[in-house]
Amino acid sequence: MTLVKLKKQHFPLFYKWWNNPVLRKLTSNKFKKITNDEVGEILNKHLYDKDYHDYVIVIDGVSIGHILFHKKKNRKYFEAYIAIGERKYWDKGIGTQSLVKACNIFFRNKPNEDAITIQALVDNHRAIACYKKVGFQKKRIIKCKENSTVLMKLSK
């Protein structure tokens, strides 16, 4: 498993992954089809903004998922996001392995950062288990009208 920096050539994968209703239900519990132009607009910002650090997860030459570290305005910590877009790679420990590797890279490249947060829908037990294996600890539940999330934190 390798992590490669996001490039424009990866954008079509995101169109496919972000329009997958099963994956959308696991990550946001919403489904609104996103266009190629919208994908390009979002990811072009990721390429050039210092507050976005994107990696594509690659197994045997096949791009299978995405990891992002993003510093949101008025937030103390960068927030991580991970999705394995190719379903045949689910439940194989790849998410855990990639997130460990990505967090190590993140802390090495950002020595002044001392923690990372991540969120999962409260009923996404697979994601929560993955994050725990990486070392993230549950901090609180964020309740929303449409869906609630578990906020977790990994300290350096």
pLDDT of 60: 95
Domain segments of the chain as ranges? 2-112
Binning pLDDT at 50, 70 and 90, where does residue 31 land?
low
Contacts from 5-8 at CB under 8 Å and sequence distance 24+? Answer: 5/54, 5/55, 5/56, 6/43, 6/46, 6/47, 6/54, 6/55, 6/56, 6/66, 7/47, 7/56, 8/43, 8/44, 8/47
Q: pLDDT digit string (tens) for 116-129?
A: 999 998 988 999 99
Q: Which among 94, 153, 151 has a CA at the least distance from the CA of 121?
A: 151
> Would the pLDDT of 89 be above 90?
yes
Indicate the fold that domain 2-112 takes in CATH.
Answer: Aminopeptidase (3.40.630)
Q: pLDDT digit string (tens) for 36-76?
A: 898 889 899 989 888 899 999 999 999 999 999 999 888 88
pLDDT of 30: 60
> What is the C-alpha to C-alpha distance for residues 29 and 17, in angstroms, rounded to an integer?
14
> Would the pLDDT of 29 be above 60?
no
